């Protein structure tokens, strides 16, 4: 019982603050949208909750800022709702989309677009398969891949043999270490 009374008192306090509950809701909405855009739905939920908490409970600059954003967001949403109600934007958009879908369906039925595209795709696939069989494309591609793999393996073995004989890796490592030491010495001497 005491918890419910405490909750009711907190709601009264929020309503008495600048902007009231719409400011809290607007702050949560704004933070949720920004969180969703930046990092996705999980961050959006956390950001919305945090903004609502700050707007509802804090009396300092953070709370004021959250309520200001909330009031602005709430006002913008109310204005958008009223504009839509007056000019029927969503109704018009829905009807336009419905008419466009009907026109596309009618054009498809009249000109058999789907059937033509399907036939063209099937004919193209059949021609490609025929070409592949006549010219042994799969077999030649497999042979080329095998040959390239063997050449790469041989090149690797030759590189390992050259490195072993001429100690290329060791010399490169020593040169890099020497160069790095010289660089560090010059940097340290300019301090």
pTM: 0.49
The one-digit pLDDT tens for each residue of the chain (191 residues) are 666 666 667 666 767 777 888 888 888 888 888 888 888 888 888 888 888 888 888 889 888 898 899 899 999 999 999 999 999 999 999 999 999 999 999 999 999 999 999 999 999 999 999 999 999 999 999 999 999 999 999 999 988 998 899 888 888 887 777 777 777 777 777 65
In the chain, what are the domain boundaries? Answer: 2-93, 138-189
Contact 136, 142 (CB under 8 A): no
């Amino acid at each position: 019982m005491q918890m419910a009374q405490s909750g009711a008192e907190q709601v009264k306090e929020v309503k008495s603050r600048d902007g009231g509950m719409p400011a809290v809701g607007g702050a949560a909405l704004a933070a949720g949208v920004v969180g969703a855009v930046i990092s996705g739905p999980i961050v959006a939920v956390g950001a919305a909750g945090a903004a609502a908490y700050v707007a509802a409970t804090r009396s300092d600059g953070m709370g004021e800022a959250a309520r200001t954003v909330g009031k602005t967001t709430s006002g913008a949403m109310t204005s958008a709702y009223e504009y839509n109600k007056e000019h029927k934007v969503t109704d018009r958009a829905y009807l336009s989309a419905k008419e466009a879908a009907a026109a596309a369906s009618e054009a498809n039925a009249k000109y058999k677009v789907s059937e033509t595209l399907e036939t063209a795709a099937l004919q193209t696939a059949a021609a490609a398969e025929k070409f592949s069989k006549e010219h042994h494309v799969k077999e030649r591609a497999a042979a080329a891949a095998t040959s390239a793999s063997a050449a790469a393996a041989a090149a690797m073995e030759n590189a390992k043999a050259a490195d072993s004989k001429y100690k290329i890796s060791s010399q490169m490592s020593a040169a890099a270490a020497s160069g790095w030491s010289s660089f560090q010495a010059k940097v340290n001497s300019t301090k």
